[in-house]
Amino acid sequence: MKMAKIMNTRPYKCTARIALPSHLYAKHLIDVISVDREISDKVVKSFSVVGHDDGNDDDALIVGRDDDSSFGNTMRILQINFEATDAKMLRVSISTTYDMINVALQCFQEFVE
């Protein structure tokens, strides 16, 4: 049992999936939120952009309006994988990341309109 604990140094995991109107939005969002590193090495984040059909996107947070025509076949999913040494660090990292995403999306919205 002790050996298993040593091998799995970050047992707490979470995957966040956010549906965005286009691949470009997702790439820009990654560029913005991946700049800042985590405060400690207790949490590791990885980012990827997956296509609409690359997984079950039913649980993805949809950003935009339902009647937005750009939500057709071009929708892409920003996927963020979190791994942490303890639950508190995982929660803090997820919360901070969502705050950064919120600010970035508000900024995107200002410049698009």
Give the span between the Cα atoms of 79 and 98, in whole angstroms. 12
Average the pLDDT over 104-111 and give the result. 91
pLDDT band at 73 (very low <50, low <70, confident <90, very high): very low
Taking residues 92-106, report their average pLDDT: 94
Summarize the confidence of residues 60-83 as an average pLDDT.
Answer: 63
Q: Can you tell me the distance from the alpha carbon of 94 to that of 112, in angstroms, rounded to the nearest whole number?
A: 27
Domains and CATH numbers, the chain: 2-112 (3.30.310.50)
Give the pLDDT band of residue 72 (cuts 50, 70, 90). Answer: very low
